[in-house]
Amino acid sequence: MRVFIITGISGSGKSVALNALEDAGYDCVDNLPVDFIEDLIQSLSSQGREKIAIAIDARRGQSIKDLPDTIEKLKKDNDVRVLFLNANTETLVQRYSETRRRHPLSSTEDNRTPQVALIDAIEKERALLSDLAETAHNIDTSHIKAHTLRSWIQDLLKDERAGLTMLFESFGFKHGVPRDADLVFDVRCLPNPHYDPVLRPLTGNDAAVANFLREHPEVQAMGDDIRRFIETWLPKYQADRRSYLTVAIGCTGGQHRSVYLSNCLFDYFLKRSQAAGDNALHLLKRHRELDLNSSKMI
pLDDT at res. 226: 98
Per-residue pLDDT of the chain (298 residues; tens, 9 = 90+): 899 999 999 999 999 999 999 988 999 999 888 889 999 999 998 998 989 999 987 765 557 788 888 998 998 889 898 999 999 999 999 888 887 788 877 765 555 555 678 888 888 888 888 888 877 888 999 888 888 898 888 888 876 556 788 999 999 999 999 888 999 999 999 999 999 999 999 999 999 999 999 999 999 999 999 999 999 999 998 888 777 899 999 999 999 999 999 999 999 999 999 998 877 788 999 999 998 764 444 4
What gap in Å lies between CA 278 and CA 274, rounded to an integer?
Answer: 6
Q: Is the dihedral of CA 28, 31, 37, 40 positive or negative?
A: negative
Q: How many helices (H) and strands (E) does the chain have?
A: 9, 9
What type of residue is 107?
A: S
- Whether residue 194 contacts residue 200, with contact meaning beta carbons closer than 8 Å, is answered with yes
- Whether residue 4 contacts residue 52, with contact meaning beta carbons closer than 8 Å, is answered with yes
pTM for this one? 0.67
What gap in Å lies between CA 1 and CA 51, rounded to an integer?
Answer: 6
pLDDT at res. 295: 44
The full set of domains in the chain, from first to last, is: 2-157 (3.40.50.300), 164-291 (no CATH)
- Whether residue 85 contacts residue 156, with contact meaning beta carbons closer than 8 Å, is answered with no
pLDDT at res. 294: 44
pLDDT at res. 60: 56
Task: Tell me which H or E stretch contains 85.
Answer: strand 79-86
What gap in Å lies between CA 149 and CA 144, rounded to an integer?
Answer: 7
pLDDT at res. 187: 98
State the pairing for strand pair 27-30/51-55. parallel
pLDDT at res. 101: 80
- Whether residue 101 contacts residue 34, with contact meaning beta carbons closer than 8 Å, is answered with no
